[in-house]
């Protein structure tokens, strides 16, 4: 870039230069005179290049503010404020400034001819509206904001860095929805917390797993909101779940012999109420989550079909953990016998699966029916998974029966109910 021409006007040196056509949309003047605030020619010549460069950068910032949406307008306002030598503040914060500072900012919104410049006003007075960013969009924005965190990481490390944040975002959207970040409330955060608490109470997961979701979500949201000028509107107080190392480990599976000789021994479960007992027995050869079994409605228990089965799907009693959770599970062995006694479902626990888990776990513990202190009702799900693995059942079938995602492309239907029944029978008790 050539050094700008300088001229002397009333004992002060100025830059006199034509405005590039590129900036005509944001600068109405065709020629600008910019004071260098010195009467020294040598000093003026040394300053001219930097001052002109800053002017070009300011015009570039204005172009961004004109040509793009609210997010870029905010970024342009911040950038322009920095170029002008002051920190970008929101309009309410600007209003709290000392009078002298406020007047300085007001004066910067008009040019030498007294013309009001809305882009300068955005920067000086905080008039740029914060962008609307959804929870899903915030994840992509976070990758840009946190790009320095990836320095030195290989592809696998980047994948492992991204995955828990992707998981946390998907979980939140499934429970609360893809809301705008600025509209997420404390009630929303506690609804998400309750979803996690229910899963922990059932023994399905650990409290520290839930806490990682909160850590990833809140941490990434705060960084994005700082960068985008968005104000979060919820409290984080009390969101984290209490952890207990001894009680918080993922539940181990019951052994086949323990299920057969202890849990299914004649009279072993007689002290347990009927609904809880039948849900437990139904879980033995289906591996459903306690909430899935408890929430079944009469039309989802298909005992008269050629292949008796249950349908796990969203209903008025419960939501699904993930889209993969929707499935049909054939009934065999003791689980089929249990559902023949409960064709209408389990009204006592239909909307209270946490109460179910607490009741069953207390009964098993007090009656010496836990294989170890670490076992729980949920251990029946892990046991079913282990028996399918030992029986050599294909991974696709195992994951479909448990409602897990498949870590590869799905092709075909995965087999009809008769085929699935024959597969599950290999692992049945």
- Asked if residue 71 belongs to a domain, the reply is yes
With cut-offs at 50, 70 and 90, classify the pLDDT of residue 79. confident
CA distance 323 to 317: 16
Same domain, 224 and 261: no
- Asked if residue 248 belongs to a domain, the reply is no
- Kindly report, residue by residue over 171-210, the tens digit of the pLDDT: 999 899 888 888 899 999 999 999 999 888 877 788 888 9
The answer on pLDDT for 403 being more than 80 is yes
With cut-offs at 50, 70 and 90, classify the pLDDT of residue 150. confident
Q: Which whole number is the average pLDDT over 136-161?
A: 84
Range of the domain at 178: 135-228
Q: Which residue has the higher pLDDT, 44 or 93?
A: 44
Same domain, 260 and 390: yes
- Asked if residue 106 belongs to a domain, the reply is yes
Same domain, 113 and 153: no
Same domain, 86 and 148: no
Listed range (10-14, 28-32, 63-67, 251-255) with the worst mean pLDDT: 63-67
Contact 194, 225 (CB under 8 A): no
Q: How many domains would you assign to the chain?
A: 3
Instruction: Encode burial over 151-186: b for 16+ CB neighbours within 10 A, e otherwise.
Output: eeeeeeeeeeeeeebeebbbbbebbbeeeebbebee
Of the candidates 80, 95, 125, which is a domain's last residue?
125
- Kindly report, residue by residue over 300-340, the tens digit of the pLDDT: 999 999 999 999 998 887 777 677 789 999 999 999 999 99
pLDDT value at residue 247 = 43
Of the candidates 125, 143, 175, which is a domain's last residue?
125
* φ/ψ bin of 337: left (φ > 0), alpha (ψ from -120 to 50), beta (otherwise): alpha
Same domain, 104 and 177: no
Same domain, 206 and 303: no
Strand order in the sheet with 6-9: 6-9, 12-18, 31-35
DSSP state of 128: S
DSSP run (H or E) holding 89: none
Same domain, 268 and 361: yes
Same domain, 148 and 289: no
The answer on pLDDT for 411 being more than 60 is no
CA distance 244 to 325: 28
Same domain, 306 and 406: yes
Beta-sheet pairing, 327-330 with 6-9: unpaired
With cut-offs at 50, 70 and 90, classify the pLDDT of residue 64. low
- Report if pTM > 0.85: no
- Asked if residue 343 belongs to a domain, the reply is yes
- Asked if residue 85 belongs to a domain, the reply is yes
Contact 130, 70 (CB under 8 A): yes
Of the candidates 103, 125, 147, which is a domain's last residue?
125
CA distance 2 to 42: 16
């Amino acid at each position: 870039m050539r050094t700008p021409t300088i001229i002397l006007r009333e004992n002060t040196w100025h830059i006199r230069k034509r405005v590039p056509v590129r900036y005509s949309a944001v600068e109405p003047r065709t020629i600008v005179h910019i004071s260098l605030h010195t009467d020294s020619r040598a000093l003026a010549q040394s300053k001219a290049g930097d001052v002109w460069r800053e002017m070009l950068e300011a015009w570039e910032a204005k172009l961004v503010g004109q040509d793009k949406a609210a997010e870029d307008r905010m970024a342009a306002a911040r950038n322009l404020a920095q170029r002008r030598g002051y920190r970008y503040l929101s309009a309410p914060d600007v209003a709290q400034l000392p009078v002298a500072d406020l007047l300085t900012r007001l004066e910067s919104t008009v040019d030498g001819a007294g013309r009001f410049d809305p882009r300068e006003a955005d920067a000086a007075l905080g008039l740029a509206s914060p962008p609307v960013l959804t929870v899903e969009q915030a994840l992509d924005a976070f990758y840009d904001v946190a790009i320095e965190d990836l320095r030195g990481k290989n592809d696998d490390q980047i994948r492992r860095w991204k995955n828990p944040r992707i998981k946390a975002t998907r979980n939140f959207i499934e429970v609360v929805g893809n809301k705008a970040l600025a509209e997420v409330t404390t009630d929303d955060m506690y609804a998400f917390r309750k979803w996690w608490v229910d899963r922990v109470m059932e023994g399905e997961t650990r409290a520290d797993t839930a806490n990682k979701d909160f850590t990833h979500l809140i941490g990434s949201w705060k960084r994005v909101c700082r960068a985008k000028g968005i104000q979060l509107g919820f409290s984080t107080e009390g969101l984290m779940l209490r952890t207990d190392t001894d009680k918080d480990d993922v539940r181990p599976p019951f052994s086949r012999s323990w299920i057969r000789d202890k849990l299914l021994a004649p009279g072993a479960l007689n002290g347990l109420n009927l609904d809880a007992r039948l849900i437990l027995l139904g879980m033995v050869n289906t591996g459903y989550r306690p909430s899935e079994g408890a929430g079944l409605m009469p039309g989802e228990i298909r005992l008269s079909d050629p292949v008796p089965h249950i349908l796990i799907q969203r209903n008025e009693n419960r939501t699904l953990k993930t889209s993969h959770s929707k499935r049909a599970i054939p009934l065999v062995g003791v689980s089929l016998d249990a559902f023949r006694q409960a064709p209408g479902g389990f009204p006592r626990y239909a909307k209270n699966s946490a109460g179910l888990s607490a009741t069953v776990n207390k009964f098993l513990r007090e009656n010496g029916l836990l294989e170890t202190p670490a076992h729980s009702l949920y251990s029946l799900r892990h046991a079913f998974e282990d028996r399918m693995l030992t029986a050599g059942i294909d991974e696709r079938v195992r994951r479909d029966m448990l409602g897990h995602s498949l870590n590869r492309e799905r092709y075909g239907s995965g087999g009809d109910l008769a085929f699935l029944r024959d597969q599950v029978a290999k692992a049945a008790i």
